[in-house]
Structure 1
Amino acid sequence: MTRQVIFDPMLPWAFIAILAGVALALCLLAAWRRLPGWWLRALAVGVLALALADPSLQTEEREPLSDILLIVVDESASQHLSDRPAQSAAALEGVLEEAARDGLDTRVARVSDSDGDEGTLAMGALGDMLSEVPRDRVAGAVIISDGQVHDVAQAPDLPAPLHLLRTGRAGDWDRRLVVSNAPAFAILDEEFTITLRIEDQGDVPPGMGDAAEILLAVDGGQPRAYRIPVGVDLELPVVLPHGGRNVLEFSVPEAEGELTARNNDAVIQINGVRDRLRVLLVSGEPHPGQRTWRNLLKADAAVDLVHFTILRPPGKQDGVPVGELSLIAFPTRELFSEKIDEFDLIIFDRYQRRGILPAIYFENVRDYVAQGGGLLVAAGPDFATADSLYRSEIAEVLPAAPTAIVIDTPFLPAISATGEKHPVTEGLPADYGTDGDPWGRWFRQVQLEAKDGAQVVMTGEGEEPLLILDRVGNGRVALLGSDHAWLWDRGVEGGGPQAELLRRVAHWLMQEPELEEEALVASASGQEITVTRRTLGDAPGPVAVTAPDGSERVMTLEREAPGRFVGRIAGAEQGLWRFSEGERNAVIGLGPAAPREFVETIAADDVLAPVIRAHRGGALAVEDGVPDLRAVREGRQAAGRGWIGWTPRNAYLTADLRVLSLVPAWMFLLLAAGLSTWAWLREGRR
């Protein structure tokens, strides 16, 4: 119970002050003129002013409230390293016991990994707790963490001391791989650099050396080992092996005693693009489909097309002067001998041997394919004659042999059973044609006999092979057994997906990874990983999955389409995921390979030091023991060796409040009247 005198004025204080001031001035004037009774009138005015102020006695019944200690427990990924979970549990238990001994009420918030790789948001949790309790009851705040907090800028304005109980050990050390510069895309066959560094943190044990081994694997393949200096930025020259997505995986073997290997890996996904696609198109004679080839290839500004057309065979005599057929001599020797390796794709369109290209040039084309080049043969009736390309040195790399039969029956091109699985023809759009036909018909086809191992992806009349694909050495070959693909481009009978088909064939020939028929591919969308296994064979086996934390499991893929088997991982944690099935491997980085929690893993006070200092708190290591709690006066330093302080707030709850006037109003009035009468009588006697 507390009592105090209060004033509850009947009029505003300013009005009372004005009245009292005027009365006081008149009394002073009377005193200056030596009028009798002036002091009695001054007392009467004072009594009236006091009556207007209404002095009262306030009696208050109070119930004291306990002070509150806010506790934030960091349970993010970095807090699961070494014995930090046990340290956190011991620190929390000790603080709760000390708080209970001192009669403190406690509020505990646990902070786990944030969404979006934002790190440890301990200050946000502290601010949320502060908004949920009365501010005048907060006596202190304690953060149990390794000190690596990532939202220090959002630290709330606490009315009490803030402390850090730091987990971790003084001898902790860690090694991490940092990639500071890597392009999103690069031009094939051109060298670029990736900047990386191996960095040691903490109390590095002696004998670790000034250099460390780093492994580089491309697309999950066999890694290659290099030895690079530690703590030095290294400019690593790289040339992409193929177009499309290239996954470069850098990893540093885990060293003995380091905190974690989660930050020893880095996955870089670089899109390989060709600066210019160089295509050599050799047309055996002018025909309606020739323009289609030119339009298709010239539609892409990135394609450098060299078109060689035989306008008149050497044996044809039509009286036209040679000078009117060609302005310059075509550089066949330069193209087919000296610079043939510079082409990404060679196309023979209705070409037959007429003595224009010598046998040595065909041998060069054959060797070009074996060494990794792409060859497409669009065959017409010429392919069934004695002058067929199959009768040249190129026959060794062609995927099928002609039977010398030309089929002139109209037919509808169809995708074979193998073609339904092959990425070149899988899912080709079928919204072409009229009268219920998905595509327009073709009217001529060369009968072919596919060689062993060749892939027949499209068929024609009587299910005869129409489009055949094959791998030869390091290169690839495609054979189209008809010269009527241009009918689709002209929209005959509704047309067909000619541009898409030929685009896929060309990209498959140039070995784009997206069109590999035997592949294991991993892709991510948000927090979901999709694993796709493409195959022309039977159902694949289970996929071995290695999570970022090193745990392993087995995934069974489900058939989604012919030749396509898919499995998904929902809610996947961020980091580097590895997948393997047989001899095929795939890697993908979900978010950064090393999440923000593993960028700085060594426990430290530096991050929170400015905030702790501003609130007169302290940072103590849990490995030295759980500190005591002590009450300290507001404004004093609240931490010392082995102890942390809290500030008593003396908060209370008002249970009852009574107000009683000290002097009744009538008594004030009677007193003022008496003083005024006395002054009048005194003045009258004078």
Structure 2
Amino acid sequence: MTIPVVFAPLVPWPLIAGLAAIALAFGGIGLLRRARGAWLRLAGLLFLLAVLAGPRWQVRTTAPLPDTIVVIRDRSPSMAIGRRAALAAAAYRHLAATVPKGVTLRTVAVAGDGHDGTPLFSALKAALSGIPPGELAGIVAITDGEATDAPPSRLPDGVPVSALIPAAPGQTDRALSLISAPRYGLVGHKVTLRFVVRDHGVEDRGTAVPVGISVDGHTVHVVSARVGQTETVPLDVSHAGRAVVAVSAAPLAGEVSRTNDQAVFHLDGVRRRLTVLLIAGRPNPGLRAWRLLLKSDPAVRLVNFTILRLPDEPMPAPLRDMALIPFPVDQLFDRDIGKFDLIILDQFANDDLLLPPYLANIARHVRAGGALLVEAGPEFEGNRSIADSPLGPILPVRPYGAGTVTGAFTPQLTREGLRDPVTARFARDSLGPWYRYETVQRRRGVTLLRVPGVAAPLLVLAHEGKGRVAMLLSDQFWLWARGALAGDAAMRGPAAALLGRTVHWLLGDPSLAARQLHASIAAGRLSIRRIGPDGPPGSVTVTAPDGQTMTIALHRTAPGRFAASLSAGGPGVWRVAGGGRTAYAAAADEDPAEQRDLAASSRIFAPFARRSGGRIVWLAHDPAPGWQGLYRRRHASIVTGERDVKLPPAIPGVLLGLLLIVAGWWRERA
């Protein structure tokens, strides 16, 4: 209980001050003159002034408050290393069971959001904002000491700050960090990778460390990197599509974890602009659709020739009046044939415009990795057919039967077409009618589009050597494009989309392959998808980053579609093999701040503990620490009530002051 004195003056303070000055002046004169009764008169005046000042005793009743200790529990991923989580949990249970009397624990768990590491001090600041400074008796952090947010310049005065570290002192760790990881690169060119290796807990800056770099599981470089120095390595972009690049440093002897010795990223290979040669055997309605399709793709450079007359055809006008461009046969099909990624023959006949050696050059170019698309019309039958030329051996079909058949029909997807990535997306599209097709005999390849009823092939895809060949066995696809432009629902069809996907298949787009194996990692799970012929689901072999292999059974999700998933924790490259194909998935580290240093350390908390009188406890040596030194009693209290007592009472005080003045006067007269 405290008894503070407060004032409630009866008159303004300036007046009291003036009266006090007058009383002191008269009293001082009397004292200097040694007048009898001067002390009594001065005491009486001061007593009257005290009554005017209105002194009161304020009597307050208080109750003690508990001391509050803030406990920060670090539950970030780095706490899962070794025995850290178990030691931290045991220490917390021991502290909670032995809390001193009158002490309250305020526990805050910090797990981070998986992207910015361990924001330990942000959580501490939020916890302290709700605690009165007089109640805070201690701050205890159960952590490996690797906070990733900036520590405050100071913490509350008089409060011990302690850290309980679930490890033994002297831990070391090696970390590999990517400084610049390219995400895209042109196929056939190089990109630049930059990284740095850092060692924690040991002074070995400049030491050479072997670092291996692999692409899709195959080692492409082994470099000698210097600890603490940025290294630059050129990488070849060998193929289009996504590649998984893993960079892995040799382990540091005795380090606590190898998790952050490696880094993984995706590199997407982008092809240069593709060159397409389109040769139309004659002007036709479909030529415009071809040109619109190919010129709308910014990645395609189109070279187009339309043959208006053959060399042996008579000219309807004198030569001097003709402005036709001679067909550069020798340049295109001898010197420059290798420059074209795709050759399209649109209703092209074997009319001796291209001599057999030139046609043989096309066939040789396709077998070496080129691509050929043939749109066939009536010129595909008879003596003028290119099937009877040097191109014949690479074509997947030959003329057969009735030749050209005329009559309305609606193209239909075959069973293979319903699941092949090139045409599967058109399964629910309405296809308008065509009016002509060529009867052929398929020798190889897969038929994706057919004539209903007679099952005549309309679209056939085939591999030839290292290249690819596609044949569209009708010259009527342009009707779909015209129907779409005219808004005619009866004639509308996916002309541009069908031809576009066929062209991309010919150019080797991996997303359109008939057999595919995909692997990806999200939310800690490895997802596996396989596309191929319908049949038993089968299984795949999965190789984890640590080299452990397992066989995973697939389940059927749709015709020709199979899938599986499994847990895939931790960074690294996962390899999935099955059906003669291999896929790679990168379990990339989504929280580089957390992985920057995994060695338990007291470097952040030691200065706070030293200045505040707290403790640093290594739980590997002292797994059940006591509360001594972890907190300091604050003896805080709260006011539960108060009352005022006048000091002195007004009337008795005035009477007493007057009595003293009269006594002084009487003393002076005596």
TM range (shorter): 0.7 to 0.9
CA distance in 2, matches of 1:57, 1:299: 93
CA distance in 2, matches of 1:422, 1:185: 28
Q: Does 1:163 align with 2:144?
A: no
**Cα deviations by residue, 1:483-520 (Å, 9 ceiling, x for unpaired):** 11111111164321111111111111111122122112
In the TM superposition, 1:430-449 aligns within 5 A as: 430=428, 438-449=430-441
Q: Does 1:360 align with 2:352?
A: no
Partner in structure 1 of residue 581 of structure 2: 584
CA distance in 1, matches of 2:468, 2:152: 59
1:519 corresponds to which of 516, 519, 529: 516
Q: Does 1:458 align with 2:442?
A: no
2:656 corresponds to which of 659, 668, 671: 671
Partner in structure 1 of residue 371 of structure 2: 374
Partner in structure 2 of residue 343 of structure 1: 340
Partner in structure 1 of residue 75 of structure 2: 75
Q: Does 1:409 align with 2:407?
A: yes
Segment drifting more, 665-674 vs 342-351: 665-674
CA distance in 2, matches of 1:682, 1:472: 138
User: Contact between 1:158 and 1:615, CA under 8 Å: does it hold in 2?
Assistant: no
CA distance in 2, matches of 1:664, 1:118: 67
After TM superposition, give the deviation of residue 351 of structure 1 in Å. Answer: 1.0
Partner in structure 2 of residue 192 of structure 1: 191
CA distance in 1, matches of 2:383, 2:250: 62
In the TM superposition, 1:136-535 aligns within 5 A as: 136-153=134-151, 157-159=155-157, 160-170=159-169, 172-203=171-202, 210-212=208-210, 214-218=212-216, 222-224=217-219, 226-231=221-226, 232-252=229-249, 257-321=254-318, 328-403=325-400, 405-428=403-426, 430=428, 438-452=430-444, 454-461=445-452, 462-491=454-483, 493-523=490-520, 530-535=527-532
| Structure 1 portions without partners, runs of 5+ | 432-437, 632-643
User: Contact between 1:267 and 1:593, CA under 8 Å: does it hold in 2?
Assistant: no
| Residues 1:236 and 1:382: Cα distance change in structure 2 (over 3 Å) | farther
CA distance in 1, matches of 2:496, 2:247: 39
CA distance in 1, matches of 2:209, 2:202: 17
After TM superposition, give the deviation of residue 96 of structure 1 in Å. Answer: 5.6
After TM superposition, give the deviation of residue 265 of structure 1 in Å. Answer: 3.6
CA distance in 2, matches of 1:387, 1:678: 150
Q: 2:448 corresponds to which letter in structure 1?
A: V
After TM superposition, give the deviation of residue 346 of structure 1 in Å. Answer: 1.2
In the TM superposition, 1:76-115 aligns within 5 A as: 76-89=76-89, 91-92=91-92, 100=99, 104-112=103-111, 114-115=112-113
RMSD: 3.8
User: Contact between 1:152 and 1:607, CA under 8 Å: does it hold in 2?
Assistant: no
Q: 1:226 corresponds to which letter in structure 2?
A: H
CA distance in 1, matches of 2:535, 2:376: 32
Segment drifting more, 655-664 vs 31-40: 31-40
CA distance in 1, matches of 2:40, 2:178: 93
After TM superposition, give the deviation of residue 306 of structure 1 in Å. Answer: 1.0
SS of the aligned residue for 1:71 comes to strand
Q: 1:578 corresponds to which letter in structure 2?
A: W
| Residues 1:676 and 1:101: Cα distance change in structure 2 (over 3 Å) | closer
After TM superposition, give the deviation of residue 62 of structure 1 in Å. Answer: 5.2
| Structure 2 portions without partners, runs of 5+ | none
SS of the aligned residue for 1:295 comes to helix
CA distance in 2, matches of 1:577, 1:593: 14
**Cα deviations by residue, 1:376-405 (Å, 9 ceiling, x for unpaired):** 111111112222221222222222222161
After TM superposition, give the deviation of residue 459 of structure 1 in Å. Answer: 0.7
State the TM-score, normalized to the length of structure 2: 0.85
Partner in structure 2 of residue 120 of structure 1: 118
CA distance in 2, matches of 1:600, 1:401: 67
**Cα deviations by residue, 1:589-639 (Å, 9 ceiling, x for unpaired):** 4663675432211223344456556655454544454697687xxxxxxxx
SS of the aligned residue for 2:469 comes to strand
User: Contact between 2:114 and 2:590, CA under 8 Å: does it hold in 1?
Assistant: no
CA distance in 1, matches of 2:241, 2:149: 38
Number of aligned residue pairs? 655
CA distance in 2, matches of 1:171, 1:266: 25
| Residues 1:299 and 1:596: Cα distance change in structure 2 (over 3 Å) | same
| Residues 1:476 and 1:253: Cα distance change in structure 2 (over 3 Å) | farther
**Cα deviations by residue, 1:161-219 (Å, 9 ceiling, x for unpaired):** 2122334345544344332212232222222222234544444999x98342515132x
After TM superposition, give the deviation of residue 558 of structure 1 in Å. Answer: 4.8
CA distance in 1, matches of 2:282, 2:168: 80
Q: 2:19 corresponds to which letter in structure 1?
A: A
CA distance in 1, matches of 2:662, 2:173: 95
User: Contact between 1:117 and 1:591, CA under 8 Å: does it hold in 2?
Assistant: no
SS of the aligned residue for 1:301 comes to coil
SS of the aligned residue for 1:69 comes to strand
CA distance in 1, matches of 2:72, 2:649: 57
CA distance in 2, matches of 1:136, 1:226: 61
User: Contact between 1:70 and 1:108, CA under 8 Å: does it hold in 2?
Assistant: yes
CA distance in 1, matches of 2:604, 2:530: 46
After TM superposition, give the deviation of residue 350 of structure 1 in Å. Answer: 0.9
In the TM superposition, 1:548-559 aligns within 5 A as: 557-559=554-556
After TM superposition, give the deviation of residue 551 of structure 1 in Å. Answer: 8.4
Q: 1:416 corresponds to which letter in structure 2?
A: T
SS of the aligned residue for 1:402 comes to strand
CA distance in 2, matches of 1:413, 1:329: 38
SS of the aligned residue for 1:393 comes to coil
CA distance in 2, matches of 1:376, 1:520: 26
CA distance in 2, matches of 1:551, 1:128: 44
Partner in structure 1 of residue 17 of structure 2: 21
The structure whose RCO (Cα within 8 Å, separation 6+) is larger is 2
CA distance in 2, matches of 1:595, 1:116: 9
Q: 1:7 corresponds to which letter in structure 2?
A: V
CA distance in 2, matches of 1:84, 1:383: 75
| Residues 1:303 and 1:256: Cα distance change in structure 2 (over 3 Å) | same
SS of the aligned residue for 2:294 comes to helix
After TM superposition, give the deviation of residue 646 of structure 1 in Å. Answer: 3.1
Partner in structure 2 of residue 640 of structure 1: none
